[in-house]
Structure 1
Amino acid sequence: MGIKSFQGRRAEPEKAADIPVCVKDYMSTDLVTFRKEQTVFEVMELMIKHQISGGCVVDENNKLLGVISEGDCMKHISDSRYYNMPMDANLVEKRMTCNAKTIDADMNVLDAAKIFIENRFRRFPILKNGELVGQLSQRDVMRAALNLKGNSWDHQK
Structure 2
Amino acid sequence: MGIKSFLAARRNKKKTAGDTPLKVSDYMTRNLVTFKSNQPIEEVINAIIKYRISGGPVVNDKDELIGVISEGDCIKEISESRYHNMPMSNHTVENYMIKNVETIDGNMNIFDAANKFLEAKRRRFPIVENGKLIGQISQKDILKAALSIKGSTWKK
TM bracket (short chain)? 0.7 to 0.9
**Separation in structure 2 between the aligned mates of residue 146 and residue 121 of structure 1, nearest angstrom:** 21
Percent of counterpart pairs with the same letter? 53
1:149 to partner: Cα distance: 1.6
Contact kept? 1:38, 1:91, Cα under 8 Å: yes
Q: Deviations over 1:49-106 (max 9, x none)?
A: 1111100000011000000000000100111111111022211000000020000000
Corresponding residue for residue 43 of structure 1: 44
**Separation in structure 1 between the aligned mates of residue 57 and residue 28 of structure 2, nearest angstrom:** 14
- The aligned amino acid for 2:73 is D
TM-score with structure 2 length normalisation?
Answer: 0.84
Which range moves more in the overlay, 76-85 or 143-152? 143-152
Gaps of 5+ in 2: 1-13
Contact kept? 1:19, 1:148, Cα under 8 Å: no
Q: CA RMSD in A?
A: 1.7
Corresponding residue for residue 92 of structure 1: 93
Gaps of 5+ in 1: 1-13, 153-157
Which range moves more in the overlay, 107-116 or 22-31? 107-116
**Separation in structure 2 between the aligned mates of residue 99 and residue 133 of structure 1, nearest angstrom:** 18
**Separation in structure 1 between the aligned mates of residue 52 and residue 120 of structure 2, nearest angstrom:** 23
The answer to whether the aligner puts 1:33 opposite 2:34 as a matched pair is: yes
1:19 to partner: Cα distance: 5.2
**Separation in structure 2 between the aligned mates of residue 88 and residue 116 of structure 1, nearest angstrom:** 34
